[in-house]
Amino acid sequence: MVNCLESSTERLSSIFINDYCYQNQSDETCARIERNIDATPDLLYWLFGIYPLIVCIPALILNMTFVCVATHGAIERKLSRKLYIFLVNRSLGDILYLLLTIFLALSCIVLEGHFPLDILAVIMVVNYVSFWGSMVGFISLCLLKLCALVKPLHARKLVTTKRCLLVVYVSWLAALLYTMFLLFLLSLTMIEPLAKWSKCTAASCIRAAFSINATLDICCYFLTLTIFIFTLVASHRIQLNRKLSTRSRSITENSLVCGVEVAVRRSSNPLVQQVRLRKLTLSIAIFALLYSLPTFGAMRFLLKYNECYYSLGWYRALTIVGSARIFFIVRTFIDPVINFCTHRRLREALTEKFTSYSSLRRHCSDALN
């Protein structure tokens, strides 16, 4: 039995300083760790460098275009402010995530995969801010639609623009505070004087922090799906009430039954008449599909009660994290495409923006000539 850190700690990471999981290990385990260390540059070069960069650049262009067009349309009241506050918030989180991912990808390519795992861990923690922004966006969109269905007559008073902005501000503040907490735990593990003082290791402090992180991810994922299911049930019940009220009205137009009057009023409400869940269903379906791998990866992380499992199997965990990031990046590319394809007013605002830009260029060229 040997201490694997004696030969691997300088090549591995300062995250594993004083990690007792590497003590008293067999020669076979140490040899496997050495092989994983040798294979890490290739993993970082492809899974964190080349593959993400292919999708990140077009996704960044699409999200920046969407934010500019949606913000301009909402300011001019051509688009729904309440809806697009959450859509723009989600895109801003995606832009932050894509910028950090592009920086990481270029660094891994330039360094040929020899990127410090310490800095990689810090970037992963900072990326959680943007991940939280997208989660809040999906949950808020589902709640907004559910409120319009359940309380159609009071939706305008309950959901105001100021309250939507307040939700966005509070969510970003909570994400920043939580990120600072994770960075503090990382510093207690990565900085050697602090690690000796706090006795924090990757198997103790970092695993506890990532356990909280995984729990939040799982709760947000299933909370979004649960709210969406309630939205579908409410929509089905309202459509059923509309059919029943239509039948009752066809039997007698002058019915004075209170229940029929309520059903007719609710069915005549424009908020209910224009209920269209196809856009939301498509977005949630893509969300459920592409976030399934990170969510079930988080569930697997929590189910592994052996505290040294991911300290010794960090290469496997790195592969899972890199694959989950690919799925997240694909989602950031698909969402603005769906928005432009399904929102007619957004397409009109985009066309108007390009038309005004073309006319401005034409006038400038005419003035120069």
Cα dist. 360→76, 354, 366, 367 in Å? 19, 10, 10, 10
Positions of the chain with pLDDT lower than 70, given as ranges? 1-25, 202-203, 244-276, 304-311, 356-369
Domain coordinates in residue numbering, the chain: 5-368
Q: What is the DSSP letter of 48?
A: I
pLDDT in tens, 142-167: 888 778 777 777 777 777 888 888 88
Q: Count the helices and strands in the chain (H runs, E runs).
A: 16, 0
Q: What is the DSSP string of 82-138?
A: HHHHHHHHHHHHHHHHHHHHHHHHHHHHHTTT---HHHHHHHHHHHHHHHHHHHHHH
Is the pTM higher than 0.75?
yes
Residues 149 and 234 sit within 8 Å (Cβ to Cβ): yes
> Which pLDDT score is estimated for 58?
93
> Which pLDDT score is estimated for 57?
92
Sole residue written with tokens 């969109």: 141
The 3-state secondary structure of 205-232 reads HHHHHHHHHHHHHHHHHHHHHHHHHHHH
Q: Does domain 5-368 have CATH number 1.20.1070.10?
A: yes
